Amino acid sequence: MAKPPTDSAFYTLDIQGMTCASCVGRIERALQKVPDIDKVTVNLATEQARVRLIPHSALSVDDLIQTIQKTGYEANIHQPTGSECAYETAWNADGRVSVIISFLLSTPLIVPMLLMPFGIHWSLNGWWQLALATPVQFVLGWRFYRAGFHALKAGSGNMDLLIAIGTSAAYGLSLFLLLSHSEHTDEYYFEGSAVIISMVLLGKWLEARAKKQTGEAIRALQKLWPEDARVLHAKQDVQSLGNANYRILPIEELIPGDQVIVLPGERIPVDGIVLHGTSHVDESLLTGESNPVKKEVSKKVIGGSMNGDGALIVEAQAIGTESVLSKIIFLVEDAQTQKAPIQKLVDQISAYFVPAILLIAFLTGLINWLVLESASIAILRAVSVLVIACPCALGLATPAAIMAGTGVAARHGILIKDPQVLELAHRINIVAFDKTGTLTIGEPRLLEIIPFGNQPPMPEILASAAGLQLGSEHPLAKAVISEARASGTLPLSVSDSTIIAGLGIEGKLNQGPWKDAVLVLQSLESISKEADFQPVAAKFHSILNNGQTSSVLRVKGRNEYIAVFLFGDEIKPNAKAVIHSLHSEGIQTAMISGDRAEAASAVAKQIGIDEIYASVMPENKAQIVQNLKEISANKNRRWVAMVGDGVNDAPALASADVGIAMATGTDVAIQSAGITLMRGDLTLIPQALDISRKTWKKIQQNLFWAFVFNTAGIPLAAIGYLSPMIAGSAMALSSLFVLSNALLLKDWKPIT
């Protein structure tokens, strides 16, 4: 027996043998009765159970597996790298051969029915019919007896029980007629039982095939891992790729700090930092970004992405379960195995559905027998009710849509982590944004230099300011240095550089137009109380009131102002278009920012934000989100989506109806949100809402058609309009229809 965990443990189990929502409910109820289990959820589409134990539980995974086996199902611990195993039984030779053999044996039984419309009356001898139907009933159909028996032992019912009872009734009636009246071959119903089992087997095979397609997103991500990597023997001069000594190691043997060589056309095996080389990397399957991203020294790379045209040496930082790819796979798997709230209602209905159908089938047989005085017709109609009512489509309706929707969203860089999002996204009527890092780039940039009076050329002003800022880690200093580097301007030499706490920096220039003079670069507001400030105030009055951050470069000790430097956190290029797109869908927008009112208003006005909340402390952001839910001109509840990227946004993301986090932000923000955008592209926001709405629509469509197939077919079967064979075909087709409808989501294209 496995060693018991010392703290709370979480297990994912692969389950074989589930066929309908009743199976799901039975396994969940069995596990919930086990002491020390904190939470359990079972998913039909993925054929998995996710179980969380209470802290310090003595339960082992073997105990969980034994509990599931007692309910009549097989279970194994889930292996993350073997996701295709759950579908193997549907695709292996035995599965295909079973379907083929069942139809080969059933075809001679149904041929006479196909010939009757052409006036040809021919049928097999009853003993031949028995010989063909028996292996279908008790060999190929044994799975239904086994699963149905376990359902009875557990005190509940499922689809297999309905199939076993229904086909046994048709087979038993035929056998009775054969033994009693062997000449009346037209009264045998062996073809009904055989064809029903054949159609159900075909339906389950097609279901598994469709379910396999819904899991393609996971398998596509898993295939991104290379099997091995070229690892340098020891830390050496990475400037010489040609002389690098390396060994090839399996990827599971890599450790953080390893230096890995990645050649052109190879997949990057680890998350890390580029130490040497320049290349373009395709990250499309990870982030949804279609264009290759340039990677050079000090840039981060993501394991699983495809290296392009250059060789790289990468220092491993995160591998295995700590890598971005593993986390993405886990998030998508987690979303696909969780249940949307509406699925819980479906499970509750299914728990009562099978017993109700058994009662309806009994009453159907009894009433038809009393009215028509024909036991054979009564039994056949009862069998039809049992078969048409199988709730497999009902159980697949929601999880199939969730798997397809979250899978296609992941391929486009949108991770839907919480299925509840799918039920709320279509209601969203206001989106609240954080400003810095969400609507803006998140880093101050030097936007403009405005000379004061007759000054030397602009490059010399920039070179002087850059010389003052060399070595400073202040964000504004970095912005000046970055602009100088981008424009090819070399910083001038400065000595005696001194930081003026809270104000700016000063230093003596050793060259240039202000040689030997002491220059000061400080905030414009910091000199507002000086006597000689009036000329500056008159010229830059508008700057002081537009919310931009500004600094003034001046000569210390004399009334000489050189220039004003304007800094701004640049608005993302597509921010205005995204706000317009949301407005066109009738969705209002708001900004919740900790920045000054002037700065927040300037950004909001430029891109068209409806409501502004500025100077908001982190602890108050969540309260504003709560207020947004309540405020409405027509007194209706507003449904709020919050978009953010920082630690200070986490409470608001959790408080919103739908939290949307940028993956370029902090882990805390990402964990607090129901949706994560794998790149800082704002256009993903309306796309995320769009795919969520379409997935919710598919869930509604699937549930509608599942109920239609079941509820409409039951009365038709009860009064004789559906034969057992037609009922079996309809039942199989209903499951296939639901899965095929969900798979239409794979054709979803992002809105532009």
One-character DSSP codes across 196-244:
HHHHHHHHHHHHHHHHHHHTHHHHHHHTTS-SEEEEESSS--TT-GGG-
Q: What is the pLDDT of residues 44-72, one digit of tens each?
A: 767 888 888 887 788 888 999 999 888 87
Least confident among 46-60, 309-323, 381-395, 446-460? 381-395
**Which span out of 9-18, 119-128, 418-427, 682-691 was modeled with the highest average pLDDT?**
682-691
pLDDT at 588: 93
Q: Measured between alpha carbons, how far is 120 from 676 in angstroms, rounded to an integer?
A: 65
Q: Does the pLDDT of residue 686 top 60, yes or no?
A: yes
Residues 6+ apart with CB under 8 A from 9: 52, 53, 57, 59
- Calculate what percentage of the chain has a pLDDT beyond 90: 10
Mean pLDDT of the region 573-583: 92
Contact call for residues 406 and 614 (beta carbons, < 8 A): no
Q: Does the pLDDT of residue 311 top 80, yes or no?
A: yes
CA dist 653 → 321, 630, 664 (Å): 25, 17, 15
In the DSSP assignment, the letter for residue 594 is S
Q: At CB < 8 A and 24+ separation, what contacts does 82-86 make?
A: 83/215, 83/218, 83/219, 83/222, 83/333, 84/212, 84/219, 85/14, 86/14, 86/16, 86/46, 86/47, 86/48
Mean pLDDT of the region 601-625: 85
Q: Does the pLDDT of residue 531 top 70, yes or no?
A: no
**Can you say whether the dihedral through the CA atoms of 372, 375, 378, 384 is positive or negative?**
negative
User: Per-residue confidence at 543, pLDDT binned at 50, 70, 90?
Assistant: low
Residue 248: its H or E element? strand 246-250
**First and final CA of the chain: distance in angstroms?**
55
Q: Which of 14, 271, 418, 434 is catalytic?
A: 434
Q: Does the pLDDT of residue 732 top 50, yes or no?
A: yes
- The mean of the pLDDT values for the chain is 78
Query: What pTM, to 2 d.p., does this model score?
Result: 0.62
Q: Rounded to the nearest 5°, which phi and psi values hold at 37? A: -90, 120
Q: Measured between alpha carbons, how far is 361 from 176 in angstroms, rounded to an integer?
A: 21
Contact call for residues 251 and 228 (beta carbons, < 8 A): yes
Q: Measured between alpha carbons, how far is 722 from 358 in angstroms, rounded to an integer?
A: 17
Contact call for residues 177 and 127 (beta carbons, < 8 A): no
Least confident among 410-424, 512-526, 527-541? 527-541
Give me the residue label for tokens 């969540």: 622
pLDDT at 685: 92
Least confident among 91-95, 229-233, 632-636? 91-95
pLDDT at 623: 86
For residue 271 the two structure tokens come to 């998350």
Least confident among 75-89, 105-119, 330-344, 429-443? 75-89
Q: Measured between alpha carbons, how far is 196 from 546 in angstroms, rounded to an integer?
A: 76
Q: Does the pLDDT of residue 244 top 80, yes or no?
A: no
Q: Rounded to the nearest 5°, which phi and psi values hold at 418? A: -120, 110
User: Per-residue confidence at 635, pLDDT binned at 50, 70, 90?
Assistant: low
**7 an active-site residue?**
no
pLDDT at 616: 80
pLDDT at 432: 94
Residues 6+ apart with CB under 8 A from 326: 320
Residue 103 or 609, more confident: 609
User: Per-residue confidence at 532, pLDDT binned at 50, 70, 90?
Assistant: low
User: Per-residue confidence at 242, pLDDT binned at 50, 70, 90?
Assistant: low
pLDDT at 10: 79
Q: Measured between alpha carbons, how far is 675 from 691 in angstroms, rounded to an integer?
A: 11
Q: Measured between alpha carbons, how far is 717 from 367 in angstroms, rounded to an integer?
A: 13
Residue 405: its H or E element? helix 392-411
Give me the residue label for tokens 């407005």: 583
41: which strand partners?
Answer: 50
pLDDT at 273: 93
Mean pLDDT of the region 217-225: 69
| Amino acid in the structure at residue 581 | S
Give me the residue label for tokens 């929707």: 405
Least confident among 10-19, 667-676, 693-702? 667-676
Mean pLDDT of the region 233-245: 59
How far is Cα of residue 398 from the mean position of the Cα atoms in its chain?
15
Q: What is the pLDDT of residues 146-182, one digit of tens each?
A: 877 877 776 666 667 777 877 787 788 778 778 876 4
pLDDT at 243: 55
Q: What is the pLDDT of residues 425-469, one digit of tens each?
A: 888 989 999 887 788 887 788 888 888 877 788 899 999 999 998
Mean pLDDT of the region 354-376: 84
Residues 6+ apart with CB under 8 A from 374: 368
pLDDT at 84: 40
- Which residue segments constitute the domains of the chain, with CATH numbers given? 10-78 (3.30.70.100), 227-265+270-318 (2.70.150.10), 443-570 (3.40.1110.10)
pLDDT at 92: 44
